[in-house]
């Protein structure tokens, strides 16, 4: 609360955060991880709407990402061998848990988009998409999606089948991972971290500032690689270039944006350690724009991939083509939003 006070001291008057503050941050994130893990085990497997397990899974990913980010940004202040073996394990945990959520979010993005493109109400679809446990069989789109064309309805049913199946697989994989010896080893190491952070010698009193500043510099460097002048010109039609390319690796143009998203997250997490410089107000909206960019890019790829399903009708393929282009324009819109956010220097 002190940081919100209007007469709060200027940054130079606050004691600069040190390795001790980093250790405190890591301990609290490790505690969060263990609490989320307990909660996840208590709420069951979480498939098909157990809200508690979904929240616990999100909290697990959240703390795993933060610990991993701190090990990366402040590696010089930590036992390097420990940090280097810990990070890939945490990335495996958060990556495995994120997959199920990603498949569900993709469906939640694509079905309403299909309805928007058909001029019908997206609320009705969300209800359909969320109703009960995942259905792996074909839906009966004619009745559920009243005002859709045959093509849009079939495209929706195809996407629902694909993504529900993918979500089920991701859920099984997550459950399997959480029961594995590998995960138990990670959990044991996080439990140790909650009480004892392996700082490097003399790191305890070393200032975090230079390492946090380096993370900020890496963000600035990554942003500098983005085509922001183009992105700031509305309707530049860049995101859909190569939309029909025969190149099997689609949209290499997205790479730098995905990279900025990751680097921005590292910077943002580094600023969460109490006592570090006040957070740049652009970070949160910029991060949101980049997440939307990533989600739309992946949704567009899913529509393109679904269109390669054998024996679909031309009407289904046409609807998937419209949907793909729609999501690529969402990609372009997200870049525009990022540019608009970023150009306001704080």
Work out which of 36, 78, 110, 152 binds its own copies, going by CB under 8 A.
Answer: 152
Residue closer to its own copies, measured from CB, 39 or 120: 120
Least distance to its own copies, CB of residue 122, Å = 11
Work out which of 235, 344, 345, 346 binds its own copies, going by CB under 8 A.
Answer: 235
Applying CB under 8 A, does 111 fall inside the site for its own copies? no
Work out which of 332, 338, 341, 342 binds its own copies, going by CB under 8 A.
Answer: 332
Least distance to its own copies, CB of residue 125, Å = 13
Applying CB under 8 A, does 207 fall inside the site for its own copies? no
Round to whole Å and give the CA distance between 55 and 42: 12
Applying CB under 8 A, does 241 fall inside the site for its own copies? yes
Round to whole Å and give the CA distance between 113 and 105: 12
Residue closer to its own copies, measured from CB, 88 or 142: 142
Buried/exposed code over 324-340 (b: 16+ C-beta within 10 A; e: otherwise): bbbbbbbbbbbbbbbbe
Side-chain half-sphere CA neighbours of 142 within 13 A = 0
Applying CB under 8 A, does 213 fall inside the site for its own copies? no
Binders of its own copies among residues 270 to 299 (CB under 8 A) are none
Stretch that binds its own copies, among 20-28, 194-202, 263-271, 329-337 (CB under 8 A): 329-337
Neighbours of 173 (CB within 10 A): 14
What is the CA 283 to chain-centroid distance, rounded? 15
Contact (CB, 8 A) for 119 and 152: no
Sign of CA dihedral 182, 187, 192, 196: positive
Work out which of 23, 69, 83, 148 binds its own copies, going by CB under 8 A.
Answer: 148
Applying CB under 8 A, does 140 fall inside the site for its own copies? no
Applying CB under 8 A, does 91 fall inside the site for its own copies? no
Please tell me the count of residues contacting its own copies according to CB under 8 A: 42
Residues 6+ apart with CB under 8 A from 290: 257, 258, 260, 261, 264, 334, 338
Applying CB under 8 A, does 161 fall inside the site for its own copies? no
Work out which of 134, 209, 243, 285 binds its own copies, going by CB under 8 A.
Answer: 243
> Phi, psi (5° rounding) for residue 69?
-65, -40
Give the start-end residues of each E strand in 178-322.
Answer: none
Round to whole Å and give the CA distance between 181 and 102: 25
Stretch that binds its own copies, among 55-63, 166-174, 236-244, 257-265 (CB under 8 A): 236-244
Round to whole Å and give the CA distance between 273 and 277: 9
Residue closer to its own copies, measured from CB, 11 or 146: 146
| Interface residues toward its own copies, by CB under 8 A | 114, 116-119, 147-149, 151-152, 234-235, 237, 240-247, 307, 312-326, 329-330, 332-333, 336
């Amino acid at each position: 609360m002190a940081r919100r006070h209007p007469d709060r001291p200027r940054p130079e008057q606050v004691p600069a955060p040190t390795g001790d503050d980093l250790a405190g941050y890591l301990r609290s994130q490790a505690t969060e991880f263990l609490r989320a893990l307990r909660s996840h085990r208590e709420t069951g497997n979480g498939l098909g709407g157990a809200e508690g397990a979904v929240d616990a899974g999100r909290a697990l990913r959240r703390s795993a990402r933060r610990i991993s980010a701190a090990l990366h940004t402040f590696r010089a202040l930590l036992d390097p061998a420990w940090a280097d073996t810990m990070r890939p394990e945490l990335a495996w945990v958060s990556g495995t848990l994120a997959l199920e959520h990603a498949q569900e979010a993709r469906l939640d993005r694509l079905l309403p988009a299909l309805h928007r493109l058909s001029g019908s109400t997206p609320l009705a679809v969300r209800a359909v998409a969320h109703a009960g446990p995942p259905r792996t069989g074909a839906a009966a789109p004619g009745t559920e999606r009243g005002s859709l064309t045959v093509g849009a309805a079939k495209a929706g049913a195809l996407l629902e089948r694909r993504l529900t199946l993918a979500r089920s697989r991701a859920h099984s994989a997550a459950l399997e991972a959480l029961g594995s010896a590998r995960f138990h080893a990670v959990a044991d190491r996080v439990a140790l971290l909650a009480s004892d952070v392996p700082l490097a010698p003399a790191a305890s009193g070393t200032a975090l500032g230079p390492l946090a500043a380096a993370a900020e510099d890496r963000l600035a460097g990554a942003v500098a690689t983005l085509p922001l002048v183009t992105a700031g010109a509305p309707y530049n039609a860049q995101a859909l270039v190569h939309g029909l390319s025969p190149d099997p690796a689609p949209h290499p143009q997205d790479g730098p944006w995905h990279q900025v998203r990751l680097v921005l997250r590292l910077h943002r997490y580094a600023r969460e350690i109490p006592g570090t410089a006040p957070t740049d107000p652009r970070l949160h909206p910029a991060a949101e724009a980049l997440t939307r960019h990533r989600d739309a890019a992946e949704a567009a790829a899913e529509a393109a991939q679904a269109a390669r399903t054998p024996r679909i009708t031309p009407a289904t393929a046409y609807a998937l083509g419209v949907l793909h282009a729609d999501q690529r324009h969402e990609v372009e819109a997200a870049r525009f939003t990022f540019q608009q956010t970023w150009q306001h220097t704080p």
